[in-house]
Chains A and B, each alone.
Chain A
């Protein structure tokens, strides 16, 4: 029972971190249909910027955070303006490949500026774990979960009530119609990239405070976005529900199965088996939009 509780709590909190990266991915997918392969690079670069502000420059925590967020906004705008916008109306796969090129660039940039390539952030949260009955959970995970819930709330409200958010949703459905209403689609794209950069910056800071700043952040980004397929790529609620489900599945599944099958590392493959199963059963995820085909 204690183990069950431990697995569940770990699963939910870790899942929330996946969900956080998933949110950033969904933001861009939702408004422009582009799969952002540069997500890992963004997570990496913002984590390093935060490290630079906090440790190398020595700014206080809140100020470093603000600087990173402002830089994230600027990055988002630049990326959209100079990489994505020239490709509007080109085949979607070319757009996706551009983000691939961007990924290489960002990885190189991180090495260029921070050649040490591995570093640890000072602990952002108290290191003493919280005790929940017989189980324990680190405060860092709890805070990460809370922050992703807050972000999810803000984004949902923004997309539901704010003019720009509504326009973004509309853009996903029909770009021409939105343009016809007098809303410049380009500004919607750049807003979505700016927001996505902010979310990935926050995700990056949280993850690197847990597992350090390494090149591995790139792959964490890649892994997490494939994990949120369960929720449906274009759905925020999907991300926030599916993240914990995946987290639970990998922890509970691995917790029970490892002693039975005797193979280590089940945790790392279970999410992907779930993805395949989900695609067989419910192709567009739990909350993804199912398109009705017409001819």
Chain B
């Protein structure tokens, strides 16, 4: 009995050690056999790889978004390596780690990627980028955030945003609303319901910044937690303020609660409801119930599944082959597009600086990637989201979103690409001290 216990203990300690030693092996060992090397059998890769760093929230609280996003970009890289033969014959090597949505881990991961000689890195959430961005900025290591907060790109440094941020969502929606929906006199009255984190406050900050310029009156600002089960109380106050339009900057589940409560209070249908892109997913429709959310507007920076754009066929093929469960998930598109943009950056960098300079994976290579890759981008991303093009002073690569609406329970596009101009946060240094630095 005793010996059995000892044996099991030894087993557990061995298991724990094996797990624990993994980082050591990966870092110190002479390992050219990087465990993260993707399989690249079809094209004989004679040329050296280009290292693409990815910090992915594969597990943890944000895995609901991180996991399909991870699949999306890994599948895209598989596609690029296998069918397109890599970048000018150089395969892309994905150096990716799971950050578990843990800031401290994200900070060690960005260091790991710098040691591994990655040429740039991407994250798929603003929190993970915020935990990594100072380290990267200080080292001049370029990074791209798929979903970002304004603070990632303001003031512009070495971090770029793949798509418009939550603030831009608001700006684009407000423009659309004023042009196409608002028929009344005077200023429309706006109520905001924001998640209590940068996702929500991003929309709130944009509203604060733009309200006067656009001619909108903010009559109520409420906030909620990601785990809220009832917002009747805040919605009662919003109802009392008698708004014309309600903008929700949040994630699917709490947005669904807010919309349901608006429905129960008789506020909706009646007011116009708009959602930022983190809320506006199929899950929100499922949680709130299709009958209730019918007619709700939302913005989203990518195309939707099944649309007739050049990149759709390959993406659908790979998704169905490797991660069929992710089919229909918008985050997969975002991430697939991210990998296409990343490949384009690498292509520009290889063509402009040559592979040898990039192979070093040092500060000079990073500068080259940033100056000759990211900043020279001019690419349509095969129509999967708005075209990416760098303009000086604006670190957002793609600058347009589309407005969607729930029609018969389906999220349907109601507009083309709407430009989301950069929001001048730096003009309000007292409200947004971070934007001036």
* A, B: real partners: yes
Q: How far is the CB of A212 from chain B (nearest CB, A)?
A: 3
Please tell me if A184 contacts chain B, counting CB pairs below 8 Å.
Answer: no
Q: A119-B286, A212-B286 are in contact. Are A219 and B229 (CB under 8 A)?
A: no
Q: A264-B223, A265-B224 are in contact. Are A212 and B252 (CB under 8 A)?
A: yes
Q: What are 19 contact pairs spanning A and B, CB under 8 A?
A: A10-B232, A11-B233, A14-B230, A117-B63, A118-B64, A118-B252, A118-B283, A118-B287, A119-B286, A120-B256, A120-B286, A136-B265, A137-B264, A211-B228, A212-B256, A215-B63, A216-B254, A250-B233, A255-B233
Q: How far is the CB of B325 from chain A (nearest CB, A)?
A: 6
Kindly list chain A residues whose C-beta atoms are within 8 Å of the C-beta of B253.
Answer: 118, 211-212, 214, 216
Closest to A108 in B: B59
Please tell me if A282 contacts chain B, counting CB pairs below 8 Å.
Answer: no
- State the B residues within 8 Å of A (CB): 59, 61-64, 67, 194, 196, 221-230, 232-234, 236-237, 240, 251-254, 256-257, 260-261, 263-266, 281, 283, 285-289, 291-292, 325, 329
Kindly list chain A residues whose C-beta atoms are within 8 Å of the C-beta of B62.
Answer: 215
**3 A-B pairs with least C-beta separation:** A120-B286, A212-B287, A120-B287
Q: A7-B236, A264-B194, A265-B196 are in contact. Are A211 and B229 (CB under 8 A)?
A: yes
B59-A111 in contact (CB<8A):
yes
A136-B289 in contact (CB<8A):
no
Closest to A111 in B: B63
A210 to B231, CA, bound (A): 11
Kindly list chain B residues whose C-beta atoms are within 8 Å of the C-beta of A264.
Answer: 194, 196, 221-223
Please tell me if A123 contacts chain B, counting CB pairs below 8 Å.
Answer: yes
A210 to B228, CA, bound (A): 10
Closest to B59 in A: A111
Instruction: Please report whether the interface of chain A is mostly helix, strand, loop or mixed according to DSSP.
Output: helix
Kindly list chain A residues whose C-beta atoms are within 8 Å of the C-beta of B286.
Answer: 119-120, 212
A267-B289 in contact (CB<8A):
no
Kindly list chain B residues whose C-beta atoms are within 8 Å of the C-beta of A251.
Answer: 232-233
> Which of A108, A219, A258 sits near B237, CB closer than 8 Å?
A258
Kindly list chain A residues whose C-beta atoms are within 8 Å of the C-beta of B194.
Answer: 264
A212 to B283, CA, bound (A): 8
Please tell me if A81 contacts chain B, counting CB pairs below 8 Å.
Answer: no
Q: How far is the CB of B380 from chain A (nearest CB, A)?
A: 30
Q: How far is the CB of A98 from chain B (nearest CB, A)?
A: 13
B254-A211 in contact (CB<8A):
yes
Please tell me if A173 contacts chain B, counting CB pairs below 8 Å.
Answer: no
Q: How far is the CB of B253 from chain A (nearest CB, A)?
A: 4
A118 to B263, CA, bound (A): 22
A265-B223 in contact (CB<8A):
yes
Please tell me if A6 contacts chain B, counting CB pairs below 8 Å.
Answer: yes
A129-B264 in contact (CB<8A):
yes
Please tell me if A223 contacts chain B, counting CB pairs below 8 Å.
Answer: yes
Closest to A222 in B: B227
Q: How far is the CB of A16 from chain B (nearest CB, A)?
A: 11
> Which of A11, A141, A211, A223 sits near B256, CB closer than 8 Å?
A211
A214-B252 in contact (CB<8A):
yes
Closest to A10 in B: B232
Please tell me if A220 contacts chain B, counting CB pairs below 8 Å.
Answer: yes
Q: How far is the CB of B228 from chain A (nearest CB, A)?
A: 7
Please tell me if A207 contacts chain B, counting CB pairs below 8 Å.
Answer: yes
- Chain B proximity mask over A141-157: 1 for CB below 8 Å, otherwise 0: 10000000000000000
